[in-house]
Amino acid sequence: MMSFYGLAGLFISSYLWCTISWNVGSGYDRFDRKEGIMCIFRWGFPRKNRRILL
pTM of the entire predicted model: 0.66
In angstroms, the Cα distances linking 40 to 22, 27, 33, 44, 47 are 19, 8, 14, 13, 19
2-48 pLDDT tens trace: 999 999 999 999 999 999 999 988 999 999 999 889 999 998 888 88
50 occurs within a structural domain = yes
- The pLDDT of residue 48 is 83
34 occurs within a structural domain = yes
The domain tally of the chain equals 1
Order of all β-strands in the sheet with 37-43: 27-32, 37-43, 51-53
53 occurs within a structural domain = yes
4 occurs within a structural domain = no
